[in-house]
Amino acid sequence: MIDVLVVDDDFHIAEINAAYVAQVRGFRVIGRAHTAAQALATLERAHVDLVLLDHYLPDETGLTLVRRMRQLGHHADVIMVTAARDVATVQAAMRYGALQYLVKPFSFAGLRARLDGYAAMRRTLDGVGGRGEAGQDQVDRIFSAFKIADAPRSELPKGHSVATVALIRRTLGEAQRPLSAHEVAERTGVSRSTAQRYLKYLERTGHISLTLKYGDTGRPEHRYAWAATT
């Protein structure tokens, strides 16, 4: 399980965000904090993998809190979840090491996609090993884990869903090699025709790469991999 600390000065929003996190498989909320001081106190006494952090806190900003966390030796990852949308704050969040930045208001699907991306990144890191060495392909997967197919519903073709796009993205991202449409269908639980339809869309939009594998029959088999550059 991935242990999450939700930090937001608004009690109601903190509860909503915590409820969202609880709906995502593999994640659990271990605490809620409404000030930077409360967040630091929780980090001192409990194991935290990920902090969902608001920028506007009553005692100091979220970015200042991130800097203090690092100075005190707290290595929990951070996803900013805030209404702050000025470029300076976004840029500072990147410099301080925030892995993602989610602007309020957001949907459950938006948060879930980022949590799924975070989980995929951790699985990739676990596969490499904390003290091991990573090849370029593994490095690309680590850095591209958050680059998710998170297109708004209005931008998806009719009959396509964000949830299925995210499921296929996660399946391809976790695979150690390119997969056929049949293999994608088996691993995701969708029909082969559905898998083919989504794979064609994702390949057309540049999210996945297509390669051909030639067998004894001479007829090539289409194989798909998540494109690390998207």
DSSP for 87-136? HHHHHHHHHTT-SEEEESS--HHHHHHHHHHHHHHHHHHHHH-TTS---H
Model-level pTM?
0.65
Residues 51, 111: Cα–Cα separation, whole Å: 13
Q: What is the mean pLDDT of the chain?
A: 84
Instruction: State yes or no: pLDDT of 229 exceeds 50.
Output: no
Angle between the N-to-C axes of helices 181-188 and 192-204, in degrees from 0 to 180, rounded to the nearest 10 = 110
Coil, strand or helix at 51:
strand
Pick the closest to residue 227 from 154, 168, 153, 183 (CA basis).
168
What the block records as the tokens of 222 is 């289409």
* pLDDT computed for residue 25 by the predictor: 86
Residues 170, 219: Cα–Cα separation, whole Å: 28
pLDDT in tens, 11-41: 999 999 999 999 988 999 999 999 999 999 9
What's the DSSP call for residue 2? Answer: E
| 3-class DSSP string for 55-71 | CECCCCEHHHHHHHHHH
| 3-class DSSP string for 130-153 | CCCCCCHHHHHHHHHCCCCCCCCH
Angle between the N-to-C axes of helices 162-174 and 181-188, in degrees from 0 to 180, rounded to the nearest 10 = 110
What the block records as the tokens of 2 is 């991935």
pLDDT in tens, 112-139: 888 888 887 887 777 666 556 777 776 7
> With the CA atoms of 161, 139, 72 and 96 taken in that order, what torsion angle do they form, in degrees rounded to the nearest 10?
-60
pLDDT in tens, 59-110: 999 999 999 999 999 999 999 999 988 899 999 998 888 998 888 888 787 8
